[in-house]
Amino acid sequence: MKKSLLLAVLSVCLLPLWGQANLSQIDSLVRKMLPEASEVGISVYDLTAKKSLYTYHDTKLSRPASTMKLLTAVTALSRSDADNPFCTEVWYDGVIEHDTLQGNLYVVGGFDPEFDSLMMDSLIEEVITFPFSVISGQVYGDVSMKDSLYWGHGWAWDDTPEAYQPYLSPLMFCKGAVEVTVVPGSQQGDTASISCKPASSYYTMTNRTKTRTPSAGKYSLSRDWLTNGNNLTVTGNVSTFRKDLVNVYDSGSFFMHAFLERLRAKGIVVPESYGFTELPADGVEQMARWETPVQKVLNQLMKESDNLNAEAMLCRIASQATGKKHVTAEDGIVEIMKLIRKLGHDPKDYKIADGCGLSNYNYLSPALLVDFLKYAYSQTDVFQKLYKSLPVAGIDGTLKNRMKNTSAFRNVHAKTGSFTAINALAGYLKMKNGHEVAFAIMNQNVLSAAKARAFQDKVCEVIIGR
């Protein structure tokens, strides 16, 4: 009887240990899987038991790459006005008489990073419900929400014309980029067929391709970016179907050009050109408005690691927090720093240069990332929105092709971060014993991204346990 009772007591006492991982295995992974010249910082925290499970150089400063987006998103979601949508509006002054708008039209940008061709058409449809077919005044874009710095601090000039580094503006159209589809011809040597979205006369196209002709040289899509031109050039050998993105200069003008084009297509007589000015403080009436939900912006930000969406979120933080009409990226960074202090860290111990992690000037630590994840987890509304937006291992986003056929499949919800010699992963997972975990892994000085990812995936498996 005593023996049975003792076994029962031991079973209850040991029950919480069953299924737990031996996290000392991570030390072995550090020794065996990482290149000798590289470094890593790791922090693992049990959200259920409210205790740290494992740390390795967790306070060491590292460049976060796109895991910087976690700080921006959590700061934005923590605000009481977090659910306010991103808006693009059309206003007018003057009067509408005899089929003519005797006044001006103003398109006011709210830095909606998801504003696309369909949304532009919807905005136009609202405008043309008003009883005029001629605009006698001017058409203006209002981009005064933020300063005129179109790239973040520390962004590399030679990353243009890549679409992941668009020219930032409160008026964004199709993410400030053109999608170029190239289809090889039917015969060798034929010029390939090219189509572009969105269609617009804002840019031109030069086609110097050859179908299945290696002597034509390597395939290339670019534009005359050194002179801020918008002539898209496709050259080289085209052997298969291709679809690529290229940014255009500049986003605000791209929006306004498309806006006028589509008004003309609807039979509205508009001025030959547009200008930029601020919406007058009075004497104006709203004509049209488009709203984009924050969750849609957040999902794209996290799932696809969208730099534009992160910078739009940073600008929005600045606008909401300061109440100013004209804001800067620094205004948003100040708010992130305030949350860093609230979480018990000294903001002076870190460097934040942008909202998306594209800058090499950013320096965070695994411990800080985990504290942001812990804070989000403690705020139900924040956590639900953030968790929904994170890539899921083996399923979608930037984790779509990772951790399949492992215990981490579908179990890891985390943000990736990739830059030259930098790879990071931070987010949430569930251990075999049912405990929820927040973790951050920051690999530095690893020229092989594949090796860094393999290490991170294996660490996640170890945390989950067997």
> What does the pLDDT read at residue 10?
42
pLDDT for the residue 21: 58
The predicted-structure confidence for 388-406, as pLDDT tens digits, reads as follows 999 999 999 999 999 999 9
Task: Provide the pLDDT confidence category of residue 5 given band limits of 50, 70 and 90.
Answer: very low
- pTM recorded for the entire structure: 0.93
pLDDT for 320: 97
Report the DSSP beta bridge partners of residue 244.
180
pLDDT at 3 over 80: no
Please give, one letter per residue, the 3-state secondary structure of the chain.
CHHHHHHHHHHHHHHHHCCCCCCCHHHHHHHHHCCCCCEEEEEEEECCCCEEEEEECCCCCECCHHHHHHHHHHHHHCCCCCCCCEEEEEEEECEEECCEEECCEEEECCCCCCCCHHHHHHHHHHHCCCCCCEECCCEEEECCCECCCCCCCCCCHHHCCECCCCCCCCCCCHHHEEEEEEECCCCCCCCCEEEEECCCCCCEEEEEEEECCHHHCCCEEEECHHHCCCEEEEEEEECCCEEEEEECCCHHHHHHHHHHHHHHHCCCECCCCCEECCCCCCCEEEEEEEEECHHHHHHHHHHCCCHHHHHHHHHHHHHHHHCCCCECHHHHHHHHHHHHHHCCCCHHHCECCCCCCCCCCCEECHHHHHHHHHHHHHCHHHHHHHHHHCCECCCCHHHCCCCCCCCCCCCCEEEEEEECCEEEEEEEEECCCCCEEEEEEEEECCCCHHHHHHHHHHHHHHHHCC
Q: What is the mean pLDDT of the chain?
A: 95
Say what the pLDDT of residue 35 is.
87
Query: Using 50, 70 and 90 to split pLDDT, how confident is the model at 22?
Result: confident
Instruction: List, in order of start, the domains of the chain with CATH numbers.
Output: 22-82+296-464 (3.40.710.10), 86-149+252-292 (3.50.80.20), 171-247 (no CATH)
Q: Write out pLDDT tens, residues 426-460.
A: 999 999 999 999 999 999 999 999 999 999 999 99
